[in-house]
Chain A
Amino acid sequence: MLKILGFLLVFVVAFGSAACATVRPEQRAVLADPTMRFEGEPGEKAATEHVLENRESSFGGGSVRGGGCGCN
């Protein structure tokens, strides 16, 4: 329970401090650059995630997609 409360506290403080971030619209040129996109190249990222999901147990933390077998 304490762990959850601690996590929530960190989240609230971090999210609250986000309101203080002052990147003005005219300063956003670099942030809009394709190299700064977290999703990277979407098709490529999805293909790599598909391969890794069939090779290891971990899942999530990236994009959410529908099911598939990967039985073989």
Chain B
Amino acid sequence: MQLTRTNHTLRRVLGLAAAVATSTFGGLAAAQVAEVDVRDTIFYEPSKTSKLFVMTPAATLGVQPVEWLDVHIGYEADIVTGATEPIKSGPLADVVTAATNFSDTRHQFRGGVGIIRRDAHLTVDYSYGTESDYRSQGLTVTAGSDFFQKNTQIELQYARGFDKVCTTNYQPATAPSGRTRLDSSDRCFTEALDRASRSVDLDTFQVAWTQAWTPVFATQMVLTGALQHGFLNNPYRSVVIAPAGQDALENHPENRARGALSLRGKYFIKPIMAAASAGMRFYRDTWDILGETAELEFEKYLTQSIRILARGRYYHQTEALFWSDDYTGGEPVSGPRGQYWSGDRELSPLSSWMLGGRALFALQGTPGARVLGFMLRFQGTAGFDLLKTNLQNFTWSGNPVDDTTAMILSLGIRAEF
């Protein structure tokens, strides 16, 4: 009896929701489309020390009020908890530090407008991000066009970031070895005398060329160049630079130019209704880091509504010119390791494997026969990836780190009206 009453109530609620959605989005149906994308990504490192946990919920709403105009807004958060060692030392220094707990939340809001005219499109996006110790603003302009009967697509993109990072209030004249790290984000972005705000300027240029060669084979080449200028260190991290244990705020160069070239190919295997793709990326920057990435993907239709994807990725990089696991060796002050010091494991030589997959369920409707009575399309996805990193030359006081295995779980829902 109770169950029947509950079913009646559920039907009424669903019916009411369908009626509201139909009346709300029904006006858009003729030539207009609204799209909602909601997803959550969870990153977890199940180690004894860091236990890093990051939850990233995100939502995007896009509307095409007329055929040639696209307006979209979005929100994303990074909710981070974990533990980290604030002072990096190598095997030679007699320093042992304990991991300290931290938590922070980054909010990012974005919005943009796109114009589509025949074979060309132009999009302008703006984003604003804020967290207790970092603020970012970004402007991205993208322009693209189709050529040769739409078999060739060229897209150009420029992004400019205007970021601010909170640090201790050391003066420019203070020697790098006398600068201290931030102990907390308290009083950041206030008038407090012991805090300062420093700029990070980011310029990114990208050109992408996508080419259809046959009815089942296409390739893509992407060339990216980026310039970074400003405070490029971690404000919380200091590095032991003397055998007696003296430490100083991490000191990276203020400029970094980065370049990447990626090549990908996709081939559709009709007899088994599956797409196979392979890609390579080559990276180099002025900190002398060379990186290579190889990627493989295989996505297959199980039914018309269900697809599964399996993916694998291998990555390798060399170390930055000034990287060392131990800076207590009395390096010459004019040399790269004497002038700069880092505790950032991303600048150490490493390789990583990522294996995973994703399942996707989609229902396609038509304006006359909508999914659940109000959606043109509904899609749900669930993905899982395992990331294993091999740090070749990074230790905490000579001890290997244990936070080198990570799991990434993602869930998403998308609906078109």
Q: Give the interface of A toward B (CB within 8 A).
A: 15, 18-19, 21-25, 27-31, 33-36, 38, 41, 43-44, 47-48, 50-52, 54-62, 64-69, 71-72
Contacts and interface: CB of A to CB of B under 8 A. Distances in A.
A65 B412 CA distance: 20
Given A30-B268, A36-B266, A57-B291, A67 B138 contact: yes
Nearest to B404: A55
Given A43-B412, A55-B389, A36 B268 contact: yes
Given A35-B274, A43-B60, A57-B346, A18 B211 contact: yes
Contacts of A51: 41, 43, 54, 387, 406, 408
Given A38-B210, A66-B137, 7 more contacts: A23-B151, A24-B149, A43-B412, A57-B317, A60-B283, A64-B224, A71-B133
B270 A66 contact: no
Contacts of A31: 212, 215-216, 218, 268
B285 interface: yes
Interface of B: 37, 39, 41, 43, 52, 54, 56, 58, 60, 78, 80, 82, 84, 102, 104, 106, 108, 127, 129, 131, 133-134, 136-140, 148-152, 157, 159, 161, 163, 165, 200, 202, 204, 206, 209-216, 218, 220, 222, 224-226, 234-236, 258-262, 264, 266, 268, 270, 274-275, 277, 281, 283, 285, 287, 289, 291, 293, 299, 301, 307, 315, 317, 320, 346-347, 350, 352, 354, 358, 360, 381, 383, 385, 387, 389, 406, 408, 410, 412, 414
Mostly, the B contact residues are strand
A54 B102 CA distance: 17
A41 B285 CA distance: 29
A15 B139 CA distance: 30
Given A67-B136, A68-B106, A69-B131, A56 B352 contact: yes
